[in-house]
């Protein structure tokens, strides 16, 4: 007879010591507690001992590691795991300079530090750090004459802040939702070089981003998994009724409750299977550079989306380059013009709704007489994106190479969720709309004859 798989509510071999003791009979429980804490002082220490309360998959791996990835569902106890790990690194004298990274500084403050399971609420009361919000810093008590241990707060929204600092310890929370996950992760790991055994922990519920998929596959990354159901008895009944019951059995529930790393978001317009690749593009009749400018040029600004795409004689679209990034006005203008020159593009398309006159002025300041086309958003971003996603689904768009960040944005943006559409995605939509027509004009069943009127060389090619 086939062995029955455990249900979601069962957690074999994943009970904490406290849970195991609680399941004993009265006399057994009393004897076990006397053995664990013979005196009142021992009992007080036991109550603050994380290994007493933690489930095995909330504890750091015993074998050597540099990166520990804790991939778990909502409410599993990831924050407590990270906070306790930081405390014990300090307690064992292994932490002198730590980095704490969240999606935003507010998330770091509200969850990692001040949250109910955050750093300020773990360990013995007399050993908790001094928190100085204005300095983005926590300082732990140290023996007299010794240098204190400190942790500095960073965010995945401002990865450049991680370029200079060095650390021996790092905790990154909800890595999967960092806006600039790849850049922040790389900068953090390049600075993880102090001490004899520098280590970094990443606690996150999964989302379909390339960086997370890479970490899951890396043999040198120690990974522990966990589900919402393992900690269900400690979660509010309202959470169980509203969240668990609503998403149980759904694709989103697999991600958020069971910590399954999906290939794409359930409500995304693009799926991974829709992205087709070719090593080189065929002869192209039209090539455009599309710009979706950031509203401001501050460090914390959004990216400027810059996508180069073309349309071939075969009627298909080809994505040729992604030059997006966080730039000042002069920088993004030069990046766009470089793409224009490299691909011998016919024109540069830009969204006029976002400071259109300024965009044109910035481009023509760098180079006069560019063929520019201002496009105006008259429908919602979803309405603009849907026809382009349909082209992908029909096999009418190819990527010449791999564009990791762009493809993550395509497969994770859920227009009905209220998420702001990402900048690279917006630029891609403008580029392909310029090549195929306005959203209303893009046919749902494309016929090659649709393109016959366009099968002539552009008179502008190579003239700028």
Specify the CATH architecture of the domain 54-256. Answer: 3-Layer(aba) Sandwich (3.40)
**Between 16 and 299, residue with greater pLDDT:** 16
Six token digits for residue 138: 């926590």
Model pLDDT, residue 7: 37
For the record, the structure tokens of 261 come out as 């790393």
User: Residue 208: its pLDDT value, please?
Assistant: 84
Mean pLDDT of the chain: 86
The pLDDT of residue 16 is 81
The distance between the two most distant Cα atoms of the chain, rounded to a whole number of Å, is: 92
- Choice between 214 and 20, residue whose per-residue pLDDT is larger: 214
DSSP single-letter state for residue 60: P
Q: How many CB atoms lie within 10 A of CB 402?
A: 11
Domain locations in the chain? Answer: 54-256, 272-454
Q: What is the DSSP letter of 62?
A: S
Cα distance between residue 81 and residue 85, in whole Å: 6
To 5 degrees, how large is the angle CA 117–CA 233–CA 112? 15
Correct CATH for 272-454 of 3.30.420.240, 3.40.50.2300, 3.40.50.2020, 3.40.50.1980? 3.30.420.240
Summarize pLDDT for 430-444 with one digit per residue, the tens: 999 999 986 444 443
How high is the pLDDT of residue 228?
Answer: 92
Whether residue 460 has pLDDT greater than 70: no
**CB contact at 8 A, 72 and 202:** no
Q: What is the pLDDT of residues 212-251, one digit of tens each?
A: 989 998 999 999 999 999 998 888 988 888 887 788 888 7
Adjacent-strand bridge partners of 69: 202, 223
Task: Give 152's pLDDT tier (boundaries 50, 70, 90).
Answer: very high
Residue partners of 146: CB distance under 8 A and separation at least 6 = none
- 267-290 pLDDT, tens per residue? 889 998 899 999 999 999 999 999
Nearest to 358 by CA among 329, 325, 328, 323: 329
Structural contact between residues 58 and 226, judged by C-beta atoms closer than 8 angstroms: yes
Percent of the chain with pLDDT over 70: 87
pLDDT tens, position by position, 304-316: 999 999 999 999 9
pLDDT confidence band for 13 (50 / 70 / 90): low
Instruction: Judge whether residue 34 has pLDDT over 80.
Output: no
Which pLDDT belongs to residue 382? 87
Residues 326, 180: Cα–Cα separation, whole Å = 10
Q: What is the mean pLDDT of residues 402-431?
A: 87
Q: How large is the C-alpha radius of gyration of the chain? A: 27
Range with the poorest average pLDDT among 114-128, 155-169, 237-251, 309-323: 237-251
Give the per-residue pLDDT at 17.
82
Q: What is the pLDDT of residue 357?
A: 76
> Cβ distance 309 to 426 under 8 Å?
no
Query: What's the DSSP call for residue 113?
Result: I
Task: pLDDT band for 355, please (50, 70, 90 cuts).
Answer: low
pLDDT exceeds 60 at position 4: no
Residue 301: the pLDDT is 53
Question: How far is 8 from 23, CA to CA, in rounded Å?
Answer: 20
Q: Is 310 exposed, middle or buried (0-12, 13-18, 19+ CB in 10 A)?
A: buried
């Amino acid at each position: 007879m086939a062995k029955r798989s455990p249900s979601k509510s069962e957690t074999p071999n994943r009970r904490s010591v406290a849970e195991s003791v609680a399941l004993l009979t009265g006399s057994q429980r009393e004897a076990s507690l006397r053995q664990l804490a013979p005196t009142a002082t021992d009992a007080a220490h036991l109550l603050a001992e994380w290994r007493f309360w933690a489930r095995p998959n909330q504890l750091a791996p015993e074998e050597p590691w540099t990166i520990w990835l804790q991939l778990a569902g909502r409410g599993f106890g990831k924050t407590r795991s990270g906070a306790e790990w930081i405390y014990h690194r300090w307690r064992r004298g292994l932490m002198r300079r730590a980095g704490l990274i969240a999606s935003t500084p507010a998330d770091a403050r509200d969850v990692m530090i001040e949250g109910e399971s955050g750093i300020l609420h773990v360990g013995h009361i007399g050993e908790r750090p001094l928190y100085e919000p204005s300095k983005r810093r926590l300082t732990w008590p140290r023996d007299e004459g010794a240098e204190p241990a400190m942790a500095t707060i960073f965010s995945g929204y401002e990865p450049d802040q991680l370029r200079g600092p060095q650390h021996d310890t790092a905790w990154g929370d909800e890595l999967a939702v960092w806006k600039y996950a790849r850049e922040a992760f790389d900068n953090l790991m390049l600075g993880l070089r102090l001490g004899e055994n520098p280590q970094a922990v990443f606690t996150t519920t999964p989302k379909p981003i390339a960086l997370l998929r890479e970490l899951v596959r890396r043999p040198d990354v120690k990974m522990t998994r966990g589900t919402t159901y393992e900690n269900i008895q400690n979660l509010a009944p309202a959470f169980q009724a509203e969240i668990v019951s609503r998403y149980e059995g759904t694709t989103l529930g697999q991600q958020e409750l069971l910590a399954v790393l999906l290939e794409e978001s359930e409500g995304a317009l693009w799926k991974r299977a829709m992205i087709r690749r070719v090593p080189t593009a065929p002869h192209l009749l039209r090539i455009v550079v599309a710009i979706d400018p950031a509203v401001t040029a501050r460090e914390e600004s959004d990216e400027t989306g810059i996508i180069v795409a073309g349309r071939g004689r075969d009627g298909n679209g080809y994505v040729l380059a992604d030059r997006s990034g966080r730039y000042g006005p002069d920088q993004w203008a030069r990046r766009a013009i470089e793409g224009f020159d490299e691909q011998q593009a016919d024109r540069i398309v830009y969204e006029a709704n976002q400071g259109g006159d300024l965009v044109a002025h910035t481009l023509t300041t760098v180079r006069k007489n560019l063929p520019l086309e201002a496009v105006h958003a008259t429908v919602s971003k979803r309405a603009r994106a849907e026809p382009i996603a349909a082209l992908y689904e029909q096999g009418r768009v190819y990527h010449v190479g791999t564009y990791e960040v762009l493809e993550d944005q395509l497969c994770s943006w859920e227009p009905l969720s209220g998420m702001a559409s990402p900048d690279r995605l917006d630029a891609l939509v403008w580029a392909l709309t310029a090549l195929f027509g306005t959203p209303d004009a893009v046919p749902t069943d494309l016929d090659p004859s649709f393109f016959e009127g366009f099968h002539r060389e552009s008179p502008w090619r190579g003239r700028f």
